Amino acid sequence: MTQDQATRYPIVLVPGFFGFVKLVVYPYWFGIVPALRRGGATVIPVMVSALNSSEIRGEQLLGRIEEILRETGAAKVNLIGHSQGAITIRYAAAKRPDLVASVTSVAGPNHGSELADYIESRFPIHTARGRLLNAALLVVGWAMHLLDTGYRGTRLPTDLDAAHLSLTTQGMASFNSQFPQGLPTTWGGQGAELVNGVRYYSWSGTLQPGRTNRGWNRLDGTNVTCRIFASTFTKERGQSDGMVGRFSSHLGTVIGDDYPLDHFDIVNQSLGRVGKGANPVGLFLEHAARLKAAGL
């Protein structure tokens, strides 16, 4: 076992919308946790409400961080969040920067998701088709809760409407007005890396014909889903991972925003079946080494 990823502070992984720790035996962070641990890192995947606002999820995360600090004796944690998990960790760091060493957004909709905007306009919650979609999503969420063997705490609250609003451009604009730490001052730019003692980083991917639709992704239905969802984008047409736009993902120091990874590939889903030449696990290993080098 090497110590290349042996960060000073524990790495806490926070999932996104419809997130989980482990469904029966299948982990959300497929292959990522054991790879980091082999490198000497202390890695803790956590659960927050699969469907709720980023603020509610953030409060839940703060409680879990305090538990982790008591259990490990560490003074701070390194937070890595995927998708809505990125917004969740931003909230926690803004509220308690003294407990957080770093925030890393992985495909986070830091300026909102055009997909969420599309769903809001086409499936309003007070219409029949909006209620039908919500009912279907709630059933999926209920089933996933029953299958999640990685979390055995009290039942976490669900608010699908609040979760969806949190991901829209309007919802994120409101969030960003309250919690601007690490945000770029210009569209497509980079933000401050160090704010209130917390270091901010981000990376994301884009759909790239000939790459993301090749390799094992030819057998991965989630890639097809992302390609369909990408058609809803207008501002960042051709520059999204299917759910989040390339420039919308920017936060702090942008490590990269055009990796050949769709929204699921970036956390090595599904079953590690990713596009041609993609190495999402390697990105996490490189980042842990980066955090270690920074004394984090």
Q: Is 248 a catalytic residue?
A: no
One of 117, 241, 262, 265 is an active-site residue; which one? 241
One of 49, 53, 54, 83 is an active-site residue; which one? 83
31: tokens are: 């292959």
One of 111, 164, 263, 287 is an active-site residue; which one? 263
Mode of pairing for the β-strands spanning 77-82 and 11-14: parallel
Q: Is 111 a catalytic residue?
A: no
The DSSP secondary structure of 83-113, one letter per residue, reads: THHHHHHHHHHHH-GGGEEEEEEES--TT--
- Please work out, in degrees rounded to the nearest 5, the angle formed at the alpha carbon of residue 149 by the alpha carbons of 148 and 151: 80
Say whether 165 sits in a helix, a strand or coil: helix
Give CA–CA dist 272/249, Å, rounded. Answer: 23
Beta-strand (E) ranges in the chain? 11-14, 22-23, 26-27, 43-45, 77-82, 100-106, 194-195, 198-205, 253-259
Q: Is 263 a catalytic residue?
A: yes
- Sort 26 into a burial class: Cβ within 10 Å, 0-12 / 13-18 / 19+: middle
Burial 245-258 (b: 16+ CB within 10 A, else e): bbbbbbbbbbbebe
Nearest Cα to Cα of residue 244 among 267, 221, 260, 262:
262
Say whether 290 sits in a helix, a strand or coil: helix
The letter for the amino acid at 215 is G
Nearest Cα to Cα of residue 211 among 223, 202, 228:
223
Within 10 angstroms of residue 54's Cβ, the number of other Cβ atoms is: 30
Q: Tell me which residues are annotated as active site.
A: 83, 241, 263
